[in-house]
Amino acid sequence: MANLSGFDANQIEPTGDFEPIPAGKYLAVITDSEMKPNKAGTGSLLQLTFQVIEGDYENRLLWTRLNLDHPNATAVQIARADLSAICRAVGVLAPKDSVELHNLPLMINVRCKKRQDTGDVVNEIKGYSPRENKPARPAATAAQTPATPPWKR
């Protein structure tokens, strides 16, 4: 059991439907990262949470898992290549910790695929590239800086 005293669902908007977003390229940032054991317990994976930061799907979350420690050498090679693409896209080529990749904008290429087990259509991230060039913005004043997310500066 969990104590929920003080929670009032009338005061909170309910979670919407999590239908997949359309395939395409989206500006996003990594908001969370975590090393986890893989399902078989034979290695570990880096799970990255991406948040779309502009457009019709702003604030939507997507995830990817990189098998950085796995008995299958091909899986590790693919994961390392994806991590290299992410690092190059955000301009952090030799991170010591995954948190160094957080809140740095990059383009993610999202595809839709059908799950073999359920037939549901889900999103998967199948590519990473640097943020597309935007016109330079005037420098923010000191008063604006704390409230402005890093990807909008």
Cα distance between residue 145 and residue 112, in whole Å:
37
Least confidently predicted of 7-16, 46-55, 87-96, 134-143: 134-143
Given a cut of 60, whether residue 50 has pLDDT beyond it is yes
pLDDT in tens, 104-128: 999 999 999 999 999 999 999 999 9
pLDDT in tens, 80-103: 999 999 999 999 999 999 999 999
- The model carries a pTM of 0.78
pLDDT at 137 over 60: no
Average pLDDT over every residue of 39-56: 95
Percent of the chain clearing pLDDT 70 (strictly above) = 85
Is 147 contained in some domain?
A: no
- Residue 102: inside a domain, yes or no? yes
Looking at residue 149, its pLDDT comes to: 63
- Asked if 87 contacts 66 with a C-beta cutoff of 8 angstroms, the reply is no
Looking at residues 141-147, what average pLDDT do you find? 50
In a domain, 62, yes or no: yes
Total structural domains within the chain = 1
Average pLDDT over residues 31-47: 95
Residue 144 domain-assigned (yes or no): no
**pLDDT of 1-34, one tens digit each?**
788 888 888 988 777 667 899 999 999 999 999 9
Q: Of 132, 111, 114, give the one whose Cα is nearest residue 27.
A: 132
Residue with the larger pLDDT of the pair 138 and 131:
131
* Portion of the chain with pLDDT greater than 90, in percent: 72
Residue 122: Cβ-neighbour burial (10 angstroms; 0-12, 13-18, 19+):
middle
What is the Cα 86 distance to its own chain's centre?
A: 10
Query: Is there a domain that residue 83 lies in?
Result: yes
Domain membership of residue 13 (yes or no) is: no
Helix or strand (DSSP H, E) at 109: strand 106-114
Give whole-number Cα distances, 48 to 31, 36, 60, 144, 146, in Å. 8, 11, 14, 29, 25
In a domain, 7, yes or no: no
- Provide φ and ψ at 130, rounded to 5°: -60, 155
Q: Indicate whether 64 belongs to any domain.
A: yes
Give the CATH number, domain containing residue 119: 2.40.50
What's the sign of the alpha-carbon dihedral 15, 16, 17, 18? negative
Q: Containing domain of residue 110, as a range? A: 19-133
